[in-house]
Amino acid sequence: MGSTLKTTILLASLSGLLLLVGDVLGGRGGMLIAFVIAIVMNFGSYWFSDKIVLRMYNAQEVGQGHPLYQLVERLSRRADLPMPKVYVIPDASPNAFATGRDPQHAAVAATEGIMHVLSEDELAGVMAHELAHVKNRDILISSVAATIGAAIMFAAQMARFAAFFGGGRSDDREGQNPLAMLAMVLLAPIAAMLIQAAISRSREFAADAGGAEIAGSAYGLASALRKIEAAAKRVPLDANPATAHMFIVMPLSAQGLMSIFSTHPPTEQRIAALMGRA
């Protein structure tokens, strides 16, 4: 199944879960309030994410004389994208990310560590991957998913709050099963997190494929992913969990059962997919 189709199905599933939560926990009014709160929160994140994240990691903008700028400029022309702003993060751990609400307001950032660890072809593969995120408007997709997911979690929280204080919806249907409501309150947020993580993983596969196309080869990115993961274990990045999903390789480890909530596919799966393209 293609990544775009898979993302569409997952977003539809997340939307369906929101409707189901609204039906079981009830009250169109309560769901509307939860959805509006989620939109306000995530709209701010979507609109100002570039400034917030870049400041969080003390990223420094570089100009035309910097080798990273020149590399991104070549790749942007090849991808037929507007030239993004280019930043360097003063950190020895190798990693990179893209941000910005659309291709006209995009930024790409790479750590000092990644430029020391990777060859030019490998670094080109990484930055092409980030430009593919920009081209695919993945920030918008993740913001939509986050808005729906947050609405589900808000609604479940409101239902727990109402139940705790003995409240309830005024339009309860006769014979509504309290066990079904309890199950929805407990399980809906978990299901929303699982779907959001699956959407993020599908976008990583899509960005890998797009990055290989922009760079002109899958080998550089495949080799880079292997090197970054190995080096990041030796020199971990002190990443904020709220932004960890943005990086090309997950800076936070997710082992065992928690791996199902990971926003990144296993690196070996990504390399295998790239080699399949090659």
Residues recognised as catalytic: 130
In this structure, the number of other CB atoms found within 10 A of the CB of residue 118 comes to 22
- Residue pair 84/134 in contact (Cβ under 8 Å)? The answer is yes
State in Å, rounded, how far the first CA of the chain is from the last one.
18
| Residue 83, Cβ density class (10 Å: 0-12 exposed, 13-18 middle, ≥19 buried) | middle
- Residue pair 21/186 in contact (Cβ under 8 Å)? The answer is no
Q: What is the rounded CA–CA span in Å between residue 81 and residue 263?
A: 26
Phi, psi of 148, deg, nearest 5: -65, -45
| Residue 182, Cβ density class (10 Å: 0-12 exposed, 13-18 middle, ≥19 buried) | middle
